Amino acid sequence: MIRIHYRVTAKNTCALIAGNRALAVLPQFARGNARTSVVLITDRTVARLHGRVLRTLREGRVPVHTIVLRPGERSKELRIAERCLRILQQKKVDRYGILVALGGGVVGDLTGFVASVYLRGIDYIEVPTTLLAQVDSGIGGKTGVDFRGIKNVIGTFHQPKAVVCDTTFLRTLPQDELINGMAEVIKYGLIGSRTFTARLEECAFNRMPWDEVVGFCVRAKAAAVARDPNDRKGERVLLNFGHTVGHALESMSNFLLPHGKAIAIGMVAAVRISNELLGFNTQDCARVESLLAHYNLPTRLPARTNIARLINILQHDKKAQGGSVRWVLLEKIGKARAGVKVPRKIVHEALRGMFNSE
């Protein structure tokens, strides 16, 4: 089990605990004399699978309330956040209450957003249950809701008091969820470690060393967040490799395309553009696509994707400056560069070459 404390402001430190049975540390953050109530926010699927978390919280001396959401991206909207705020008000949760986000990225993003705006900000804890959330979205304090079809366009930075990544949760995940999460795992290798990338090429789902894999990713994410907590200096922006096209594809699919699969396609687009602009090795382009395919991730655009519409959606990317998208590209495996301006023609050509019929 690993324990990291990373400082995000002079007065704010986040504890990150990851590994087998990490859940055992949860009571020390969610209970105590300083807490007046605990509100567990989860979705129906997770609530059925992980009642032990609720039992753990109820061992304390403070009231425990629950809010159960419908699974899926549709729960990450302003109207759902308003419903949660209304419940907090009805339960008379005060500034000494704490929220616990139990679930994947949707639950974590929504809970963090609600915590950040209720009473001008109350504490919350992330307990990510999916691989995707454990290695990426659950760490870093980015909160958000989708608005008018654009992903995470409304949100805040609000760091959790703790992130508890218990890898035993991964045993309950269906194969599709593990595949979805592997896109973000692969991303960490491509932007930061040739050695870790090679390690992933050697592994497979049936012999995956999850503690090692999650441990590497959370260390990388925590280091990036500590250096750039509000995503302003460029260091944390590297974590958005593959997300420019990926988020646009999610929006185009009405969020029916899973995040990890969208990011995988986005990474292929990014390495093809990297090959054109930064001289990224052609053999490594093939290596990236082979690694993604090794974990059953897509490397081509969905059939009948409207490229003109996709490029138009890209202009709404949160990293855009003056309507110009700034890309994260690769110089080589293990070294990324942020803030690259890519001519529209090159984007169009890269995307046009990403259909199965090529």
pLDDT in tens, 120-159: 999 999 999 999 999 999 999 999 999 887 888 899 999 9
- Rounded to an integer, what distance in angstroms lies between the CA atom of residue 55 and that of residue 304? 48
Which strand (E) or helix (H) includes residue 329?
A: strand 326-332
CA 210 to chain centre: 17
The token pair that represents 215 in the structure block: 């441990």
Per 3-state DSSP, the chain is made up of helix, strand and coil in percentages (nearest 5) of 50, 20, 30
Q: Is residue 148 part of a domain?
A: yes
- Rounded to an integer, what distance in angstroms lies between the CA atom of residue 288 and that of residue 265? 11
With the CA atoms of 89, 95, 96 and 98 taken in that order, what torsion angle do they form, in degrees rounded to the nearest 10? 60
pLDDT of residue 358: 45
- If asked whether residues 279 and 317 sit together in one domain, one would say yes
- Rounded to an integer, what distance in angstroms lies between the CA atom of residue 185 and that of residue 191? 11
The token pair that represents 285 in the structure block: 């382009």
- If asked whether residues 20 and 161 sit together in one domain, one would say yes
Q: Is residue 186 part of a domain?
A: no
- If asked whether residues 204 and 310 sit together in one domain, one would say yes
- Rounded to an integer, what distance in angstroms lies between the CA atom of residue 277 and that of residue 1? 41
* CA dihedral sign of residues 58, 141, 228, 278: positive
Residue (of 34, 45, 4) closest to 216 by Cα position: 4
Which amino acid does the sequence have at 336? A
- If asked whether residues 155 and 216 sit together in one domain, one would say no
- If asked whether residues 18 and 166 sit together in one domain, one would say yes
The token pair that represents 260 in the structure block: 């990890």
pLDDT of residue 5: 81
Neighbours of 284 (CB within 10 A): 18
Q: Is residue 185 part of a domain?
A: no
CB burial string 46-67: b at 16+ within 10 A, e below? bbeebeebbebbeeeebebbeb
> How far from 92 is each of 114, 116, 146, CA to CA, in Å?
15, 17, 27
Q: Is residue 246 part of a domain?
A: yes
Residue (of 211, 303, 194, 243) closest to 18 by Cα position: 211
- If asked whether residues 208 and 273 sit together in one domain, one would say yes
Q: Is residue 218 part of a domain?
A: yes
CATH number at residue 16: 3.40.50.1970
- If asked whether residues 147 and 70 sit together in one domain, one would say yes
122 close to 97: Cβ distance less than 8 angstroms: yes
> How far from 288 is each of 214, 250, 331, CA to CA, in Å?
20, 21, 13
Residue (of 209, 188, 144) closest to 291 by Cα position: 188
- If asked whether residues 133 and 256 sit together in one domain, one would say no
Which amino acid does the sequence have at 295? Y
pLDDT of residue 136: 92
- If asked whether residues 136 and 276 sit together in one domain, one would say no
Q: Considering 172, 189, 217, which residue would you say is the last residue of a domain?
A: 172
Residue (of 118, 48, 110) closest to 90 by Cα position: 118
Tell me how far apart the terminal alpha carbons of the chain are, to the nearest angstrom.
Answer: 46
CATH number at residue 226: 1.20.1090.10
- If asked whether residues 212 and 135 sit together in one domain, one would say no
- Rounded to an integer, what distance in angstroms lies between the CA atom of residue 138 and that of residue 142? 8
In the chain, which stretches have pLDDT less than 50? Answer: 358
Q: Is residue 184 part of a domain?
A: no
Q: Considering 172, 205, 231, which residue would you say is the last residue of a domain?
A: 172
- If asked whether residues 134 and 12 sit together in one domain, one would say yes
- Rounded to an integer, what distance in angstroms lies between the CA atom of residue 117 and that of residue 84? 11
Number of domains in the chain: 2
Q: 340: domain range? A: 197-352
- If asked whether residues 37 and 167 sit together in one domain, one would say yes
